Amino acid sequence: MTLDLTTVHKCCICDGDIEHHKTQEGETYWTQGHNAQPIKEGQCCDSCNNMIVLPQRFKNILALSKANG
């Protein structure tokens, strides 16, 4: 599998562009954002990941640990 490092993917949550991640030298090494689960199936941008996906995952983990114990 080859990574396509030129395409700008769309965030499945806000429908914005997913930022390309670059090395310090400015070389793109990752274009596909973050896994949007459990919010949505697909890829999301940095800000949705930080603002929506990670907090939701955290809540789910808390809920799980409460349910188990």
> Where do contacts with Zn ion occur on this chain (CB under 5 A)?
11, 13-14, 16, 44-45, 48
Look at residues 33, 69, 66, 25 and name the one whose alpha carbon lies nearest to residue 49. 33
Q: What is d(CA 30, CA 69) in angstroms, rounded to the nearest whole number?
A: 39
Question: In angstroms, what is the minimal distance from the CB of 13 to Zn ion?
Answer: 5
Question: In angstroms, what is the minimal distance from the CB of 61 to Zn ion?
Answer: 22
Look at residues 34, 31, 32 and name the one whose alpha carbon lies nearest to residue 51. 34
Q: Which is nearer to Zn ion, 17 or 62 (CB)?
A: 17
Q: Which is nearer to Zn ion, 27 or 41 (CB)?
A: 41
Q: Which is nearer to Zn ion, 5 or 39 (CB)?
A: 39
Q: What is d(CA 45, CA 13) in angstroms, rounded to the nearest whole number?
A: 8
Question: In angstroms, what is the minimal distance from the CB of 51 to Zn ion?
Answer: 8
